[in-house]
Amino acid sequence: MLEELDKLINFIQTEYVQLTTKWEQSDYYTKINLKSTQVCGLLENKLILDTIIKYREFINQNNIQLLMDFKKFNSENATVNIRTKAKNSIEFKIENYIKNHENGKVSINKCFNDLFGIRIICSEELSFDEVLKLINNKYDNLKCIDSTKNDYKATHIYFKKDNYNFQWELQIWNKIDEVNNIISHEKYKQDYVRWENENKGGKK
């Protein structure tokens, strides 16, 4: 299973570099230091929020090709899915961070490290230590985190070029944890749906 994961990580790196270069050359791109700029600054600087939304649109323009590219990693041992964060989910996350995370005094890069995400669900269990060892041995430019919290069990890997480009997130789940992880996501989604109903009258 580690070998399959290694191939996926290699592939994500290649895709990330190619699309990031394309993003930098596009009309959408605005050079913003995403590490020094804080979430609370989004309320004062519309350009930053526009850049986040434009990056989402840019990824969606390439979504069909990305779906086809990642589809080849599905096998008997693993299921791979991709997703782009929805616009209203972005708005919810901003408000949530301003209310519940140091009044939004958190870097944009930390808050929006998952605008584009890949998830691999492994039928053969992989521990965080096994994945971390792989990353430390072969990928010194990647960040590997044990994201296990309460009922959610996962390892997350982050792909990042520099402080001026958005990160990609790879979630690594074990099949045995899939049901509980989905339930955990649903609890978060309930808060999000409640926020939508309160702020937008339930409109999609």
User: DSSP states of 43-88 as a string?
Assistant: GT-HHHHHHHHHHHHHHHHTHHHHHHHHHTT--SSEEEEEEE--HH
Provide the pLDDT for residue 189. 61
Q: Assess contact for 113 and 167: CB atoms under 8 A.
A: yes
Q: Which of 1, 21, 16, 7 is nearest to 160 (CA)?
A: 16
Provide the pLDDT for residue 140. 87
Note whether residue 77 is domain-resident: yes
Over its length of 204 residues, how does the chain's per-residue pLDDT go in tens digits? Answer: 989 999 999 999 999 999 999 999 999 999 999 999 999 988 788 899 999 999 999 999 999 899 999 999 999 999 999 999 988 889 888 988 998 888 899 999 999 999 999 999 999 999 999 999 999 999 989 999 999 998 899 999 999 999 999 999 999 999 999 999 988 877 656 554 554 455 654 433
Provide the pLDDT for residue 197. 57
Note whether residue 203 is domain-resident: no
> Residue type for 53, please?
I
**What is the pTM for the complete model shown?**
0.90
Note whether residue 200 is domain-resident: no
Note whether residue 159 is domain-resident: yes
Note whether residue 82 is domain-resident: yes
Q: Assess contact for 60 and 84: CB atoms under 8 A.
A: yes
Q: Which domain holds residue 26?
A: 2-195
User: What is the length of the chain?
Assistant: 204
Q: Which of 178, 177, 41, 44 is nearest to 111 (CA)?
A: 41
Provide the pLDDT for residue 127. 96
In order of 7, 110, 178, 199, the CA distances from 191 in angstroms are 36, 21, 21, 12
Rounded to whole angstroms, how far apart are CA atoms 195 and 189? 10
Note whether residue 184 is domain-resident: yes
Rounded to whole angstroms, how far apart are CA atoms 121 and 101? 30
- How many domains are there within the chain? 1
Note whether residue 91 is domain-resident: yes
Rounded to whole angstroms, how far apart are CA atoms 167 and 133? 21
Note whether residue 168 is domain-resident: yes
